[in-house]
Structure formats: C-alpha cells, structure tokens
Amino acid sequence: MYTQSRFLRRIIKSAANKFIKDETFKVQKKGEGDFVTDTDKKIEEFLIKKIRRKFPRFDIISEEFNPKDELSRDCFVIDPIDGTNNFIAGLPLWGIQIAMVIDYKTVSCVIYLPKFREMYWADENGAYRNGKKIKRKTSSNLFAEEGHREPHTEKEYRRTACAALNYTWAAMGYLRSFRLHKKTLWDNLPGQFLVEKSEETK
C-alpha cells in the first residue's frame, strides 16, 4: 500500500498548502460547542475530488459531506480538520487525516499536522513520522477511554481537543492513554491504525 499512502500524503500536503495560508475564514455553528469553518469544507471538497478521480469505485465517508456511521467494504475516511475549535482559536493543535479501507480493514492512513510540519503515515510496512519509522519506547498498552471521569482523576489525562494529535503522540510514546470524546470514524480510524502499526522497542 506504499503507493496509496504516498498519494494520500501528496494530496493532504497540497490541500494544506492551498487552503491554510489565508488566516481569514468563516465559522458556522453545528451544535453545542461544535463548529465548522469554510476551510474545513474547502479541504474536504478538494480531497474528495482527488480521491474520486483516482479511486472511482471507492465510497467516501467524511465529516462534513458524507457523515456515515458504518464502514463500506472499500472506502476512504476523511477528517478535513480534526481539532477545528483549536484551528479557530489560532492554536496549532489540529490536523488533516485520511484512512483507506479495503474489505472492511484499514490498510493505510495519513495524518498531517501542518503547524508542526509533521507528516505521519502507516501501511503494511509500519508507521512513520516524516519518513522515519516510528519506534515507541513505552508499553503498547495504549487505549482511549470514552465518556467523563471524576474530577479527582482528571490529572491522568492530557486534553488537546484533537484526536489526530492524541493518536500521533500515542504512536510516538508520549501518551499512554487519553480521553475519547467522539466515536466517529473520521476522528479515530486513521489514528487507531497509526498506533497499531507503530513498533514498540525496549
């Protein structure tokens, strides 16, 4: 799947270069504490167009235009900006992510953190950060816990408001656990595969 991951890296980088240079954007409220910008939509439209041109038989699941709850047999899962609230606030804690699924199994993913200039990807050969294979120096007992915890245990978790960042940090070994607020495919599928393919070392 190296060819596919290279294609995904290329189009994500192109989308970032094309749409995030302009610091002005329009914000729309989707729900309580949930917002979307026109930059989210522009990035998603761009990625969908590129993917459909190269992989016309694949379905697409995406946060803004194709928000489905279940995987198709062969599909791409797209989150144009994971961490939109951070993006709106001017914080660097956000990313663009895509997962490729074949026969209901994730085979490739890419997570790009533009403000950190970090490109993560994973395929059958392992997980990588900026071209270097990831070798985790912590226990592989990584997990994301759903829901809320009691106040006295809050210190056990770091809160970034960005699943993409959480998963990349978990893959690198910086985090052993974090809170999962959303169960959506676009928030979690790319990062779960990245962590799965990262290698633990002694």
Spatial contact of 27 and 33, defined as CB atoms under 8 Å apart: no
Q: Give the H or E element holding residue 200.
A: strand 199-200
State both tokens at 6. 């290279």
Does pLDDT of 135 surpass 60? Answer: yes
* Number of neighbouring beta carbons within 10 Å of residue 114: 19
Residues 6+ apart with CB under 8 A from 28: 35, 36, 37, 38
Beta strands in 38-185, from DSSP E residues, in sequence order: 59-62, 75-82, 95-102, 105-113, 118-123, 126-129, 132-133, 135-136, 143-146, 177-180
Residues 6+ apart with CB under 8 A from 189: 77, 99, 101, 106, 109
Q: Rounded to an integer, what distance in angstroms lies between the CA atom of residue 85 and that of residue 105?
A: 30
pLDDT per residue as tens digits for the range 85-124: 999 999 999 999 999 999 999 999 999 999 999 999 999 9
Question: In the CATH hierarchy, which top-level class contains the domain 2-200?
Answer: alpha beta
Comparison of pLDDT for 189 and 176, the residue scoring more: 189
Distances (CA, A) of 148 to 11, 50, 82, 99: 36, 38, 20, 27
* Residue-level pLDDT at 149: 46
pLDDT per residue as tens digits for the range 141-175: 455 555 544 444 444 556 788 999 999 999 998 88
Q: Which amino acid is at 131?
A: G
Does pLDDT of 1 surpass 90? Answer: no
Please name the residue that has the structure tokens 């047999």: 73
pLDDT per residue as tens digits for the range 54-72: 999 999 999 999 998 899 9
State both tokens at 86. 């951070």
| Model confidence band, residue 139 (pLDDT cutoffs 50, 70, 90) | low
pLDDT per residue as tens digits for the range 3-45: 888 999 999 999 999 998 766 789 988 777 788 999 999 999 9
